[in-house]
Amino acid sequence: MEKYLAELNEAQRAPVLHKDGALMVIAGAGSGKTRVLTYRIAYLMNQGVDAFNILSLTFTNKAAREMKKRIASIVGNSEAKNLWMGTFHSVFAKILRYEADKLGYPSNFTIYDTQDSQRLINSIIKEMGLDKDVYKYKQVQNRISSYKNSLITVKAYFNNAELMEADAMAKKPRLGEIYQAYCERCFKAGAMDFDDLLLKTNELLTRFPEVLAKYQDRFRYILVDEYQDTNHSQYLIVKALSDRFQNICVVGDDAQSIYAFRGANINNIMNFQKDYDNVQMYRLEQNYRSTRNIVNAANSVIEKNKTRLDKVVWTDNDDGNAIKVHRSVTDAEEGRFVASTIFDNKMQLQLKDGDFAVLYRTNSQSRAIEDALRRKDIPYRIYGGLSFYQRKEIKDVLAYLRLILNPKDEEALVRVINYPARGIGQTTIQKLTVAANHYKRSIFEVMEHLDKIDLKINSGTRRKLEDFITMIKSFQVTNQSADAFVLAEHVTKKSGLLQEFKKDGTPEGIARMENIEELLNGIQDFVEGQKEVADAKGDLAEFMEDVALVTDLDKDTGDDDRVALMTIHLAKGLEFPYVFIVGMEEELFPSAMSMSTRSELEEERRLFYVALTRAEKQAYLTYTQSRYRWGKLIDAEPSRFIEEIEDKYIEYLTPPLDASYRYKPMIDADIFGEVDKSKFRLKKPTAGTPPTSHKPSEEKLRKLRKLKPDLGEPVAQDGGDHNSLSVGDKVSHTRFGNGVIISIEGVGNDKKAEIRFDTGGLKKLLLRFAKLEVI
């Protein structure tokens, strides 16, 4: 152990060696907070604390795995295995399974992902006969999610006149009813959504003192990384569990708090000292990650924030190069700059692809970068976006698997009852749903008792329903003896899914087959891996537990030598030798909807601080003069954050743009998104034009505020018929024929879809104009 303690500096060693009682480490980026947490766990174990008594909460499951590996190398693998480590969601999902019966849930409850929740909310809105343009299902889902994270249960909602009035004022008086129906339906389906995993844990710990006492006694040492981004629900869980022993260690950085828009509460850090007795505070100041230039540049930016704790960050590392700033005319050119810089650096400095990361504010920016990297044959991996497990075909297979474990799972049932087609129509499903609601039973249970209820379903259809039930039940029998892989392979064949995709011989169909194959390979790997875990069976239940909460960042492909592309939000806690921060433009970063209040702007600035401090050796900032956004080519201004870096840390690769000269496209991008560059011309503004202010017009702001930061998850969007379209849908266009939707971006009237037509063409269409028909 001595040897390992020598890998820490003195300031880091103090919190590692801290005896019992509460402690908090507040320190800037790259100063070793995560390292302190890791070594503290190893040290506690070395001092005789049982691994079973330690709970450690991290931002991603991948971070937990890496910490565990490091700890294993210090204290030995067999002991490290017993540590409870992971994200809040994964740890408490596990606990909820043990205790589910207390809350009236089955222990094999399903975890609904955001898509499942949205789908259910959408159908509730329809069933209630509400106007879908007023009650937009994604907005409603967002709303319910924030209620849950603030611990506002349905009951609390109806007891809160203020909240109800606010919703009524917003012309949504029936939001509470939707919320109520949604919770009832989830409960009936034996399902919890992501937010429930925290909400129900809180319920469990408050309603059942003996359960609380059990886990308090079990988790005698609790450690939390990235404490600045915990929300209220998470805060309460930690507070409750650590109340008895108060052996709580939190590390964080107020300057890296970037999830306020999702309910993260910086006050959790600010109030920590009040929440526990005799809190010991520790500070770390030395950054080990980045060059001096990067550290100083980041400091010079974050100093502009008024709300922050005073902190010092310095480094002993070399000065390194200045931060390089590059301007281009279009985002395609920006992509080319990134790709060729990576290419050149790789050649000249003998670097790997995995040494580079490209970070952006919103997911939609990745496309131009991807195109350029592909052209140069540079391998890359996108994190976030549509994750593997959210692809349609994967969700189809998983829906069958979910049904085997929990036949009450309605979202899964509705998804596959007639997929592949077996002649069970919408009307039948409707009748079943109505009956299920009426009898307060699941659809599956209703189907099991068709002989007792007269639903006016003809005998032919009834037979089909019975066949479906028989099939699922036969899968359940197989599940009793087969491992997860054998079962999944059996299910893909017997359900007809595999044949369905085989039949489809289009490139998309083939890609789907390959994805299913990849899923099966993944399951097989999982089963193999479980053989090494004590008491594990490698069965379906174990696999589904594992899969329900994986985030894209968690996936280990074993092939990490690729350029990493991700949003800045996702990059928190990570580090890369070379980092490109692209799209450094006003209204993009800082994002337009974050410019109306100081606190929003300060959150954007913290986000920039996070981005810059991911770089070890070199940071590049790039911006373009025009960008294709919301269906239009707009001219862009360099981000204020570039100006905020002290000049001496910056090197301009291209001269900064003279503010009086700005590119103006002669025409707006046409509806196909193909801009004829020859039509650009340099336009000189007429004399006396006032300098452009940073703040967009009120009208623009109003429009933009409807957007939410794009984190790769579905966002609240405007209404419009085209909202029902989604990636993977097959559509038909009067002029271009049939095609498949590859991606969707923008909102409301500016919503666009990129479609690959069977003729081979790739087109981006504004949905407002393009009359598409789903086929």
By the criterion CB under 5 A, which residues form the site for Mg ion? Answer: 33-34, 573
Binding mask 289-328 for ligand ATP (x = CB under 6 A): x---------------------------------------
Q: Among 18, 35, 395, 751, which residue interacts with ligand ATP (rule: CB under 6 A)?
A: 35
Map the footprint of ligand ATP across residues 47-76, applying CB under 6 A.
Answer: none
30 annotated binding-site participant: yes
CB of 575 to ligand ATP, least distance (A): 6
Nearest C-alpha neighbor of 357 from the set 369, 344, 374:
369
93 annotated binding-site participant: no
- Please report how the helices 392-405 and 540-548 are oriented relative to each other, as an axis angle in degrees rounded to 10: 130
CB of 233 to Mg ion, least distance (A): 22
573 annotated binding-site participant: no
Residue 34 binds to ligand ATP (criterion: CB under 6 A): yes
31 annotated binding-site participant: yes
Q: Among 18, 33, 220, 708, which residue interacts with ligand ATP (rule: CB under 6 A)?
A: 33
Q: Among 86, 573, 739, 748, which residue interacts with ligand ATP (rule: CB under 6 A)?
A: 573
**Residue 110 contact among ligand ATP, Mg ion, none, beta carbon within 5 to 8 Å by kind:** none
Q: Which of 12, 33, 200, 618 is catalytic?
A: 33
Token pair listed for 80: 């490290």
Q: Using an 8 Å Cβ cutoff, are 636 and 624 in contact?
A: yes
Token pair listed for 438: 């009426």
* Nearest-angstrom CA–CA distance, 743 and 365: 12
Binding mask 240-269 for ligand ATP (x = CB under 6 A): -------------x--x-------------
**Residue 289 contact among Mg ion, ligand ATP, none, beta carbon within 5 to 8 Å by kind:** ligand ATP
Indicate the burial class of 480 (C-beta count within 10 angstroms; 0-12, 13-18, 19 or more).
Answer: exposed
Match 């089963």 to its residue by tokens.
527
Q: Among 23, 29, 322, 570, which residue interacts with ligand ATP (rule: CB under 6 A)?
A: 29
34 annotated binding-site participant: yes
Q: What is the per-residue DSSP string for 602-647? A: HHHHHHHHHHHTTEEEEEEEEEESEEEETTEEEE--B-HHHHHS-G
Residue 208 binds to ligand ATP (criterion: CB under 6 A): no
* Nearest-angstrom CA–CA distance, 212 and 284: 34
Amino acid at 652: Y
**Residue 489 contact among Mg ion, ligand ATP, none, beta carbon within 5 to 8 Å by kind:** none
Phi, psi angle pair for 694, to nearest 5°:
-75, -25
For the CA atoms of the chain, what is the radius of gyration?
27
29 annotated binding-site participant: yes
Q: Which is nearer to Mg ion, 608 or 623 (CB)?
A: 608
Could you tell me which stretch among 27-35, 45-53, 125-133, 596-604 binds ligand ATP (CB under 6 A)?
A: 27-35
**Residue 12 contact among ligand ATP, Mg ion, none, beta carbon within 5 to 8 Å by kind:** ligand ATP
Q: Among 15, 26, 32, 570, which residue interacts with ligand ATP (rule: CB under 6 A)?
A: 32
Q: Which of 256, 286, 433, 613 is catalytic?
A: 256
Nearest C-alpha neighbor of 403 from the set 336, 456, 473, 335:
473
**Residue 31 contact among ligand ATP, Mg ion, none, beta carbon within 5 to 8 Å by kind:** ligand ATP
User: Who's near 509: CB < 8 A, 6+ residues apart?
Assistant: 501, 502, 503
Token pair listed for 321: 């190069």
CB of 765 to ligand ATP, least distance (A): 41
Binding mask 7-26 for ligand ATP (x = CB under 6 A): xxx--x--------------
Token pair listed for 752: 């666009």
Phi, psi angle pair for 640, to nearest 5°:
-60, -25
CB of 8 to ligand ATP, least distance (A): 5
Question: Has 316 been annotated as catalytic?
Answer: no
CB of 13 to ligand ATP, least distance (A): 9
Q: Which of 34, 433, 622, 625 is catalytic?
A: 34
- Please report how the helices 598-612 and 292-302 are oriented relative to each other, as an axis angle in degrees rounded to 10: 180
The three-class DSSP label of residue 452 is: coil
How many angstroms from the chain centroid is the CA of residue 424? 35
* Nearest-angstrom CA–CA distance, 266 and 230: 8
Q: Which of 226, 254, 370, 546 is catalytic?
A: 226
CA angle 260, 599, 717 (to 5 degrees): 55
- Please report how the helices 137-149 and 114-127 are oriented relative to each other, as an axis angle in degrees rounded to 10: 120
Q: Which is nearer to ligand ATP, 201 or 315 (CB)?
A: 315
Question: Has 38 been annotated as catalytic?
Answer: no
Nearest C-alpha neighbor of 97 from the set 87, 83, 107:
107
Map the footprint of ligand ATP across residues 609-648, applying CB under 6 A.
Answer: 613
* Nearest-angstrom CA–CA distance, 767 and 757: 15
Q: Which is nearer to ligand ATP, 8 or 527 (CB)?
A: 8
Q: Which residues of 311-341 are buried (b: 16+ CB within 10 A; e: fewer)?
A: bebebebeebebbbbbbbebbbbbbbbbbeb
Question: Has 33 been annotated as catalytic?
Answer: yes
Q: Which is nearer to ligand ATP, 573 or 714 (CB)?
A: 573
Question: Has 614 been annotated as catalytic?
Answer: yes
**Residue 253 contact among Mg ion, ligand ATP, none, beta carbon within 5 to 8 Å by kind:** ligand ATP
Could you tell me which stretch among 30-38, 181-189, 592-600, 704-712 binds ligand ATP (CB under 6 A)?
A: 30-38
33 annotated binding-site participant: yes
How many angstroms from the chain centroid is the CA of residue 354? 22
CB of 83 to ligand ATP, least distance (A): 18
Q: Using an 8 Å Cβ cutoff, are 410 and 119 in contact?
A: no
* Nearest-angstrom CA–CA distance, 474 and 271: 55
Q: Which residues bind ligand ATP (CB under 6 A)?
A: 7-9, 12, 27, 29-35, 253, 256, 288-289, 573, 575, 613
The catalytic site residues sit at 33-34, 225-226, 256, 614
Going by the annotation, the residues of the binding site for ATP are 27-34
Which residues define the annotated binding site? Answer: 27-34
